[in-house]
Structure 1
Amino acid sequence: MRNGDLYTLDISGATWTKPCGGNVGDPDAPESCMEFATLPDGAIAIRDSKRPDLTPMRFSADELTAFLGAI
């Protein structure tokens, strides 16, 4: 699936996963976490846990693989 097509998907019912528990070691700092949702064809959506009202970024499986291979 091409990235542009990902933004046409309705993800309003997506299940979001928060893999971290916030700022480790500083309980007074504002939480800084991302949330992930799985989309069709291995794509993912990523959003800021502090601002779930903003449009999530979406990445195809190929884009995600390229990103992970580059870091």
Structure 2
Amino acid sequence: MQQTYNGMPASDLDGVRWRKSIHSNSTGNCVELAELPDGDIAVRNSRFPEGPALIYTRDEIRALVMGVKDGEFDNLLA
């Protein structure tokens, strides 16, 4: 299994399938996520796909998604 680490080049994550939200806009302002073989989740900037990838555990992503669904970050959009 490939060794992953925070900040590694996203282009070094071989064989992953990057996905982005259908809510992304046409100018490419979005992030993309990919499931890694060990179950962690990688996140990258879609405008710089070969740039750094941030690696999170499933529990960390779950906490983020639940916070977003609950509106905990709505003030960041103002």
TM range (shorter): 0.5 to 0.7
User: Could you state the TM-score of these two structures normalised by the residue count of structure 2?
Assistant: 0.57
Equivalent residue, structure 2, for 1:70: 67
Query: Residue 62 of structure 2: SS of its match in structure 1?
Result: helix
5+ residue gaps, structure 2: 69-78
The structure whose residues are more often strand, as a share, is 2
CA distance 1:58–1:44, change in 2 (3 Å): same
Task: State the aligned residue count.
Answer: 62
Equivalent residue, structure 2, for 1:7: 5
5+ residue gaps, structure 1: none
Residue identity opposite 1:7 in structure 2: Y
Cα distance between partner residues in 2 of 1:40 and 1:57:
15
Q: Deviations over 1:26-66 (max 9, x none)?
A: x6xx3212211111343211111110121111110111122
CA RMSD of aligned residues (A): 2.8
CA distance 1:22–1:64, change in 2 (3 Å): closer
* Same amino acid, percent of matched pairs: 34
Equivalent residue, structure 1, for 2:42: 45
